[in-house]
Amino acid sequence: MHPYTAPLADIRFVLHEVLDVPALYARLPGSDAATRELIDAVHSRGGSLFMDLPANHTGWAATLHTHHPDWYRRRPDGEFVSPGAWGVIWADLVELDYRDPRLRAYMAKVFLFWCSQGVDGFRCDAGYMIPAETWTYIVARVREEFPDTVFLLEGLGGKVEVTEALLTEANLDWAYSELFQTEDRGALEWYLPRAIPLAERCGPLIHFAETHDNNRLAARGECYARMRVALSEMVVDGIKTNIPLQQRIMTDRGFKDGGQNIHYLEKRLAERRETSIGLA
């Protein structure tokens, strides 16, 4: 469940009023009843409902930004800081500053409220940007009253070491990344040797083949999209498989551009051997 209150044309995690529930319901008359109806319907079918809650930032128009500007990060010149990743600044957002303990307590109450409404867990958008001690506090406060609450840590853009610390020390449940959407084979080959041991230590990570930040995989064709999704979803415990190899193939530029034949794999393996022994 996405707590959007902006027009659908602005489909970013603006987080206008999800942290100020009276303001949220005031903006959307009847939304409180509709929310409860949705949650009840999901539970009646044996499902669980997760809220996509970005606790790292808000939109510029948020009530929190208006009434508590001191809870936001600022530059030395007093300008507010917008978050970002991969060299891109999300200029429509403003980053929260958890050095103020009042913000940490306030955010815990936000999570507790949505749990009291029947939400079963949260997708913690940009969770790796929030200090581990803040998550430790929030998770402990929530689980005192709702012990089965699940916190899914978004690891996209974060360091593997940070992900491990948040899973093992801050007690978040699972981490996930959309890294398998990458078009860069080198990035995937860098990531997998780190992600696989992490999954062995902390439990299977959740990987998505695409995200709202990029073009849909289906734009490349149905078969390509279905293969990328299947490889992202597959988990095999106890034995080694060639899934990482298949994932590398799917990010190979020559493979994606087409024109390959049944000798593609043996050709690539031969090139790799030649490179490793200095023949290429």
pLDDT digits (tens, 9 = 90+) for 2-23: 444 333 333 333 444 455 555 5
Residue 160: what pLDDT?
83
Check whether 278 has a pLDDT greater than 60: no
Residue 212: what pLDDT?
64
- Tell whether 75 is covered by a domain: yes
- Domain limits at 159? 21-177
Check whether 257 has a pLDDT greater than 60: yes
- Tell whether 245 is covered by a domain: no
- Tell whether 191 is covered by a domain: no
- Look at residues 52, 147, 67, 77 and name the one whose alpha carbon lies nearest to residue 102: 67
Distance CA 203, CA 103 (A): 31
Residue 9: what pLDDT?
32
**Structure-token pair, residue 2:** 């996405």
Percentage of the chain exceeding pLDDT 90 = 29
Q: How many domains does the chain have?
A: 1
- Tell whether 206 is covered by a domain: no
pTM, to two decimals: 0.71
pLDDT digits (tens, 9 = 90+) for 103-145: 999 999 999 999 998 999 999 988 999 999 999 999 999 999 9
CATH value at residue 146: 3.20.20.80
- Tell whether 55 is covered by a domain: yes
- Tell whether 221 is covered by a domain: no
- Tell whether 234 is covered by a domain: no
- Tell whether 261 is covered by a domain: no
Contacts of 242 (CB under 8 A, 6+ apart): none
Strand partners, 165: none
Check whether 279 has a pLDDT greater than 90: no
Check whether 219 has a pLDDT greater than 60: yes
Residue 147: what pLDDT?
96
Mean pLDDT of the chain: 78
